[in-house]
Amino acid sequence: MEKKICVITGGGSGMGLESAKLMGRTHYVIICGRTVGKLKDAIENLKREGVECEAFPCDVGDYTSVRKLAEHARKLGEVQAVIHAAGMSPHMGDAEDIMQTNALGTVYMNTEFARVMGEGGCILDVSSMSAYLTPSLVMPRKLYKYALEDVELFREKINRSLRIFPKSVRPGVASGVSAFSR
Ligand SMILES: NC(=O)c1ccc[n+]([C@@H]2O[C@H](COP(=O)([O-])OP(=O)(O)OC[C@H]3O[C@@H](n4cnc5c(N)ncnc54)[C@H](OP(=O)(O)O)[C@@H]3O)[C@@H](O)[C@H]2O)c1
């Protein structure tokens, strides 16, 4: 492939889709997300704008799915850029799902793409200012070391730390805590 590749998670909507329009001026774009119909509409939209692109369904909270995405991108050509915009806001799920997508998804994306990208490549993780609004006391700085070594332990420790908050505010806290991973 002549063009270098840009992979955009969450490329089916919002900031991911807008980023795809910009990156598509200079790159071949692969957009990812879980909802195939949304990706299909986004691809039509991008192609109308002259972007060379394709969709690859992927759940960033699933390590195997991320591995397949990275492997597919590597086989297509040189992966120069990743914009990791996939994420869940507090209203989109419970605290555990938010941690799985936002925190573990970010660890998985960075780990797998660091393996397939060459020198000079760039991974941009879209975060949230909620990381700065969450008290540093609840930031799981010491827990991230478990995210790849022992994912069950990571989940258990993180979820235990979230359970000290009332259920109604846990998704918001999870959003702030997971934004720290980015
Ligand atoms: N908009 C804001 O005001 C704001 C504020 C702070 C932070 N952010 C963060 O900025 C990023 C982009 O925001 P946005 O407003 O553009 O969001 P958006 O329109 O809701 O887009 C998020 C995208 O992520 C995808 N996604 C969600 N979970 C996923 C998963 N597990 N695997 C793969 N894809 C997944 C969604 O598609 P599927 O559901 O089809 O998978 C969706 O296309 C998000 O990470 C969001 O948390 C946004």
Q: How far is the CA of 85 from the centre of ligand 1 (A)?
A: 6
Between the two ends of the chain, the Cα-to-Cα distance in Å is 30
Is the model's pLDDT at 89 over the cut of 80? Answer: yes
CA of 151 to the centre of ligand 1 (A): 23
CA–CA gap between residue 123 and residue 89 (Å, rounded)? 21
Q: How far is the CA of 101 from the centre of ligand 1 (A)?
A: 10
Phi and psi dihedrals of 122, rounded to 5? Answer: -140, 130
CATH code assigned at 166: 3.40.50.720
Q: Tell me how far the alpha carbon of residue 53 lies from the centroid of ligand 1, in angstroms.
A: 19
Atom number of ligand 1 nearest to Cα 16: 16
Residue 139 is predicted with a pLDDT of 84
Q: In total, how many domains does the chain have?
A: 1
Give yes or no for residue 138 having a pLDDT over 90: no
Q: Which residue minimizes the CA distance to atom 40 of ligand 1?
A: 35
* Ligand 1 mutation target, pool 22, 46, 94, 126, most atoms within 8 A of CB: 126
What mean pLDDT comes out for the span 103-120?
94
Question: Could you list the residue range(s) of the whole structural domain that residue 100 is in?
Answer: 3-179
* pLDDT number for residue 57: 98
How close is the Cα of 105 to the center of ligand 1, in Å?
Answer: 12
Q: Of 85-99, 104-118, 144-158, where does mean pLDDT reach its minimum?
A: 144-158
Smallest CA separation from ligand 1 atom 4, residue: 128
